[in-house]
Structure 1
Amino acid sequence: MTQKHIHLIGIAGTGMGSFAGLLKAAGHDVRGSDENVYPPMSEKLSAWNIPVVSGYKSENLEPAPDLVVIGNVIRKTNVEAEAVIARGLPYTSFPKALHDLFLVRHHSVVVAGTHGKTTTSSLIAWMLTHAGRDPGMLIGGVPENFSEGFRLGKGEHFVVEGDEYDTAFFDKRPKFLHYKPESLVLTSLEFDHADIYDSIESIEREFDKLTQLAGPRARLYVASKDARLRKIVARHHPSNSIETYTAEDEPGDTIWHAKNIDIRPTGTSFMAFHGTTCIGKVATQLFGRHNVENAMAALAFGLTSGLSTSEVIEALAEFKGVERRQTLRYTIGGIRVLDDFAKHPTEVATTTEAVRSRFRDGRLFAVFEPRTATTARHFFQAAFAEAFDHADQVVIASVGRKEIPEAERLDTLRLAQDLRNAGKTARTIEAIDDIVSFLVAETREGDTILLMSNGGFGGIYRKLEAALRAAHPGDLV
């Protein structure tokens, strides 16, 4: 690979920052700019010796780079992007650069879907690594078996989390349409990203295009419970190239399935089957039926990609999870505090169910911040009212996007009332400090607090820890 001087505009986002680290690991001279450069990404970029300029300006392009990668948060009117185009500098998008500089030389393993793609892609990357296959990877989260969400491997495979969000201001296609999968895992398909999609059908059309990009020799792994996905893949691929998987009690004609699922505080175990053949008992450090499904996807991939049964089962047992996915941050005064990235009604429902199954000794306080472009709107007003069935108490924080017109926003007061009408103890609390005060006053030993947000949640993790420590001096696990 020819080494290049590469400049990234919008470098401090999760995806762009990790891609910058991957480029640096590959030997490129990397630098970048961003308007908001905060920890933890600012600290990571510094540790990787990647210079970052705060603020966008044309002078950031001196000396002229060989290539400019423009992030999807950058608008056409951005002064630095305008300078790139005016000066005729070579530029591209993050997903196009990922394909051209990395995926094109590897067997591309793409994991796509509304839910579960971060955990499933992390499982597959770990499975290949554990088996000595030395894969490359670029994943939206940080798998706990790795130090970062990227890996520069020398092996055949490169595992990438395929995102359906748009590419850049000059390319409005989904990112995953750049990846040309040779192995494609499809986890789920539901409505999301209301800022760029107007219906589930519009998202379905993009997944249809993705399956068409998978070549004639590609193998596809499809969650069998998703009728839309099954219909899409059957339209373009023969049945002998499609591997279906499930964690449902009634697998039907699904090829790979799990039985005897047992969720305990230390993890989840189940029996894995290929058709009527029992593969063996699988023990994982993950929690919830949805994670059994993710594990079955990875297991199916591993066993159809040349890995032995023992390699697959051992890798699943040693997989530690992904940061911000049911992560136990601390236990103070016997009160557990967990952090999760849940941002969609389905994710809230599966996460609360998993945490309830994991910790059964006390009450579950579910605290949710609706802050994505979709969840901050009223699209899921009714769905959220049914998403907290496994919580004992629910706290709904303020909508995290004040730029959305009030008439279009999720009505948090109505949501809390709907939950109360369904028999839940629910309330809305706007200020983060007030949420912290409520939780400290109401929780007791044995209770679990589940904080759900895809952002920093106003620093609630640090504030709650300090308040709990003050209320329970000397007691921190």
Structure 2
Amino acid sequence: MAPGLPPAMDRPHFIGIGGAGMSGIAKILAQRGAEVAGSDAKDSATADALRALGATVHIGHAAEHLADDASCVVVSSAIRTDNPELARAAELGIPVIHRSDALAALMAGLRPIAVAGTHGKTTTTSMLAVALTELGLDPSYAIGGDLDAPGSNALHGAGEIFVAEADESDRSFHKYAPEVAIVLNVELDHHANYASMDEIYESFETFAGRIVPGGTLVISADHEGARELTRRLAGSVRTVTYGEAEDADVRVLSVVPQGLRSEVTVELAGARLTFTVSVPGRHYAHNAVAALAAGAALGVPAAELAPALAAYTGVKRRLQLTGEAAGVQVVDSYAHHPTEMTADLEAMRAAAGDGRILVVFQPHLFSRTQELGTEMGHSLALADASVVLDVYPAREDPIPGVTSELIVEAARAAGADVTPVHDKADVPAVIAGMAKAGDLVLTMGAGDVTDLGPRILDQLSK
């Protein structure tokens, strides 16, 4: 049986409780019997899902939202120091803990699998959670996205396995002590926190060093950043590599596209396994192989886990079909880094057949746009036409001279057909004027561009 409540977390208050990472921790604590409360900037389906579990969710941030008897206040790196609830916690002497410490406490006493990497964490964590559940192992899990309904990003299970997405963006994944760790890839991102690739490598080395004695690191044999990390670790931890490289321990022999699915054949421990991945794209097939290798490292029979992976049919915002109107499909993509953008566009190209790919792209973060705007523009050149919105700031303040025009200019220089649109309300009409039956529209980015999908469908229907 899974353990109960961590010490001092029986009455937690979450600032930003509606966020992907925060809501998952709040949900597990509520399921373990804690009196959960918190606040968020706006109401949401996630907030409603938490209320259904008995949590108290306030809308807006105010000192009076924090109960005097709260046992702790949970924050993420996105919470600013001038938050009134944080100030009230200081006045009352209520302990403030980072969400990563809260998640680490929830994993204590269990067999954790921590999924890390610059791209693909949410998908791989979800694949493992779904497949292990399919096998009746009843895992606990905390994911950075919803599987099939608001609030489905986390679960308190009765089994001994805990699958968690491990976020490198603020180095919070250093708090975990997994039995099995996955590193999917290693690239420079999160420029506000990392100044160089050396800093990134050092951070991932620290994460790998947190694997418990006798544990296993599952790491890509194909991605150059991951191979460099493996070289730097130099045998300091038991390592299982996966991929198409000839020296991979778990060798990907083939990935055969079948519409919006793939058939994958691997060689593992001298045996060949062929199984179905129910989402399109080679990168998702590789995520599934990473999940297979991790489960096997934990002792789950690969021959049972491989077919169970087919039960995963996607996670919200990861190439999720929003709908279809006038013969045009609208698909939502969370891709916001050039590598992710390229991978999703290539997957959609394979799935679209003779249809055109039209992209509505919203850059995420000024710092990322400043560092990777040119590469984002080059990725958009893989689409037949694109609309580029203004930068979604999220937690950042504007950087002088950094706008989405950097991406537009780079895309045009690469030969792309790009239209800048500064008012999101104009996008549905712009796309409806471009799209034809058989086309596929991709709303892409980590901000609120996802909201445009239904509006585009409405406009197409007229």
Contact residue 395 and residue 427 of structure 1 kept, 8 A:
yes
1:45 to 45, 50, 54: 50
Contact residue 193 and residue 373 of structure 1 kept, 8 A:
no
Contact residue 394 and residue 426 of structure 1 kept, 8 A:
yes
Change (3 A) 1:405 1:282: same
Name the structure 2 match of 1:393: 385
Name the structure 2 match of 1:170: none
2:417 to 410, 414, 425: 425
Change (3 A) 1:210 1:388: same
Name the structure 1 match of 2:174: 177
Contact residue 28 and residue 154 of structure 2 kept, 8 A:
yes
- Show structure 2 runs of 5+ residues with no match: none
Contact residue 144 and residue 320 of structure 1 kept, 8 A:
no
- Show structure 1 runs of 5+ residues with no match: 167-173, 471-477
Task: Provide the aligned C-alpha RMSD in A.
Answer: 2.2
CA distance in 2, matches of 1:372, 1:151: 30
Change (3 A) 1:237 1:451: same
State the AA in 2 paired with 1:10: G
Name the structure 2 match of 1:59: 64
CA distance in 2, matches of 1:180, 1:403: 34
- Give SS of 1:386's match: helix
Is 1:341 the equivalent of 2:345? no
Q: How far did residue 393 of structure 1 move?
A: 1.2
Which moved further from structure 2: 49-58 or 139-148? 139-148
Name the structure 2 match of 1:331: 324
CA distance in 2, matches of 1:81, 1:106: 31
CA distance in 1, matches of 2:197, 2:433: 42
Q: What does 1:221-300 correspond to in 2, within 5 Å?
A: 221-236=218-233, 238=235, 241-246=238-243, 248=244, 251-274=245-268, 277-300=270-293
Change (3 A) 1:97 1:216: same
Name the structure 1 match of 2:114: 110
Change (3 A) 1:4 1:461: same
State the AA in 2 paired with 1:7: H
- Give SS of 1:294's match: helix
**CA shift digits 1:373-393 (9 cap, x unpaired):** 433x32113212321343111
Is 1:381 the equivalent of 2:381? no
Q: How far did residue 128 of structure 1 move?
A: 1.7
Q: How far did residue 149 of structure 1 move?
A: 0.8
CA distance in 1, matches of 2:228, 2:364: 32
- Give SS of 1:11's match: coil
CA distance in 2, matches of 1:415, 1:90: 43
CA distance in 2, matches of 1:416, 1:88: 49
Contact residue 195 and residue 373 of structure 1 kept, 8 A:
no
Q: What does 1:319-468 correspond to in 2, within 5 Å?
A: 319-375=312-368, 377-401=369-393, 403-407=397-401, 409-412=402-405, 414-457=406-449, 459-468=451-460
2:36 to 30, 35, 41: 30
Name the structure 1 match of 2:97: 92
Q: How far did residue 46 of structure 1 move?
A: 2.6
Alignment length (residue pairs): 454
CA distance in 2, matches of 1:390, 1:278: 37
Which moved further from structure 2: 419-428 or 251-260? 419-428
Contact residue 264 and residue 357 of structure 1 kept, 8 A:
no
CA distance in 2, matches of 1:352, 1:458: 16
Q: How far did residue 230 of structure 1 move?
A: 3.2
- Identity of matched residues, %: 29
- Give SS of 1:385's match: helix
Which moved further from structure 2: 365-374 or 156-165? 365-374
Name the structure 2 match of 1:153: 157
Contact residue 145 and residue 321 of structure 1 kept, 8 A:
no
Contact residue 275 and residue 306 of structure 2 kept, 8 A:
yes
State the AA in 2 paired with 1:262: V
2:77 to 72, 82, 91: 72
Contact residue 18 and residue 44 of structure 2 kept, 8 A:
no
TM-score by length of 1: 0.89
Which moved further from structure 2: 13-22 or 36-45? 36-45
Change (3 A) 1:280 1:112: same
**CA shift digits 1:314-362 (9 cap, x unpaired):** 2122211111100111011110000010111111000000011111121
Change (3 A) 1:357 1:202: same
Contact residue 192 and residue 374 of structure 1 kept, 8 A:
no
Name the structure 1 match of 2:186: 189
Name the structure 2 match of 1:475: none
Contact residue 46 and residue 151 of structure 2 kept, 8 A:
no
**CA shift digits 1:136-161 (9 cap, x unpaired):** 11010112499601111121211100
- Give SS of 1:260's match: strand
**CA shift digits 1:14-52 (9 cap, x unpaired):** 211221111101111111123x12323232223223112
Name the structure 2 match of 1:82: 87
**CA shift digits 1:88-123 (9 cap, x unpaired):** 2233121111212x2111011100010011111111
CA distance in 1, matches of 2:36, 2:153: 18
Contact residue 324 and residue 341 of structure 1 kept, 8 A:
yes
CA distance in 2, matches of 1:4, 1:260: 49
Is 1:139 the equivalent of 2:131? no
Contact residue 121 and residue 139 of structure 1 kept, 8 A:
yes
CA distance in 2, matches of 1:81, 1:114: 30
Name the structure 2 match of 1:311: 304
Which moved further from structure 2: 391-400 or 337-346? 391-400
Name the structure 2 match of 1:165: 169
- Give SS of 1:201's match: helix
TM-score by length of 2: 0.92
Q: How far did residue 468 of structure 1 move?
A: 1.2
- Give SS of 2:146's match: coil
Contact residue 184 and residue 220 of structure 1 kept, 8 A:
yes
